[in-house]
Amino acid sequence: MSFSAATGFVVLFLSVTVGQDEPAWSVKYDRSQICALRGSTVMIKCSYTYPSSVDGRNAEVKTRFWFTKGNNQVPVDLEKDSDYKSRITYESTESSSILTIKDLKQRDSAEYKFRFITNQPGGAFTGSPGVTLTVLDLRVQVRRSETQTELKCESSCDLTKPPSYVWFNKGKKMEEQTSSILVSVRDGDRYSCSVKGHDLPLTFLSCPPDAPRPPSVSVTPSDDIMEGSLVTLTCSSDANPEANYTWYKEGEEAPKASGRNFTITNIMFKQRGNYSCEAQNSRGRYNS
Q: What is the pLDDT of residues 172-210, one digit of tens each?
A: 888 777 788 887 755 566 777 877 766 555 555 544 556
Q: What pLDDT does residue 240 have?
A: 63
Whether residues 128 and 150 share a domain: the answer is no
- 146 and 49 in a common domain: no
- Report helix, strand or coil for 83: helix
Whether residue 181 lies inside any domain: the answer is yes
Q: Is residue 79 part of a domain?
A: yes
Decide: 237 and 279 in contact? Cβ < 8 Å.
yes
267 neighbors 231 (Cβ within 8 angstroms): yes
Same domain, 227 and 176: no
Residues of the chain below pLDDT 50: 1-20, 206-207
pLDDT for the residue numbered 6: 37
Q: Give the Å distances, CA to CA, from 265 to 22, 29, 226, 256.
A: 90, 71, 12, 13
pLDDT at 1: 39
Indicate if 174 and 106 belong to the same structural domain: no
In a domain, 176, yes or no: yes
Give the CATH number of the domain where residue 236 resides. Answer: 2.60.40.10
pLDDT at 15: 27
What confidence score (pLDDT) does residue 187 get? 57
What's the pLDDT tens digit per position in 138-150?
777 777 666 677 8
Output DSSP code: residue 78: G
State the total domains in the chain: 3
pLDDT of residue 55: 74
Residue 9: what pLDDT? Answer: 30
> Domain range holding 168?
137-195
- Residue 74 and residue 103: Cα distance in Å, rounded? 27
Q: Are residues 90 and 165 in the same domain?
A: no
